[in-house]
Amino acid sequence: MERIAVCPGSFDPVTLGHLDIITRASKLFDRVIVLVSKNIMKKGESFTPQERKEMIQCVTKDLQNVAVDISDGLLANYVKEAGAIAIVKGLRAVSDFEYEFQMALANRKLYEGAETVFLTTTAENMYLSSSVVKQIAAFGGDISHFVPPEILGVIEKRLIKER
Ligand code: PNS
């Protein structure tokens, strides 16, 4: 049986931290579906779901067992329909923990067939997030250390336009 994992997130935009988690997940599972999902707590989106999907496709093109999809529904339903056995999330600091723990428990209540698996971030990505990237870009700072080089131009263009 193929062991499928879903790696959900807002990815607005995808960062080197996300890419690290996706790459490591691709070594643990037969197939990884990166799922561009809706986080109702986050307002002020910079990229459309389709744009985020295309950026992730661009930076994961060399990972043969990684696919990218979009969902605007419940993660648990998607995971069940995809036949996935795991939800993979990255954990940075302790501050991520309570929220991620809550989501893991809720998802388990909604669908028992998949485990949430947390991969710890690497030290250099510890304080990295899409919001940090947006903040730095908004003030004209250099984001080249935080996002994959292939999509740096597209991200800068959009975020600078938003300033
Ligand atoms: O990158 P994020 O914003 O931390 O990811 C959060 C995300 C998108 C994975 C979460 O909000 C989510 O799962 N959204 C889909 C809708 C859903 O199932 N919500 C209930 C989660 S318990």
CA–centroid distance, 107 to ligand 1, in Å, is 10
> With the C-alpha atoms ordered 89, 5, 87, 42, is the resulting torsion angle positive or negative?
positive
Say if residue 159's pLDDT is above 90: no
- Has residue 123 got a pLDDT over 70? yes
Q: For this structure, is 71 an active site residue?
A: no
Identify the pLDDT of residue 133.
94
pLDDT bin (cut points 50, 70, 90) of residue 44 is confident
> Is there a contact between 99 and 116 (Cβ–Cβ < 8 Å)?
no
Which has the higher per-residue pLDDT, 20 or 44? 20
CA atoms within 13 A on the CB side of 131: 5
Q: Helix, strand or coil for residue 61?
A: coil
**Which amino acid is it at 129?**
S
> Percentage of residues in the chain with pLDDT exceeding 70?
98
Q: Which one of the listed residues 92, 108, 129, 158 is annotated catalytic?
A: 92
Task: Give mean pLDDT, residues 9-32.
Answer: 97
User: What value does the mean pLDDT of the chain take?
Assistant: 95
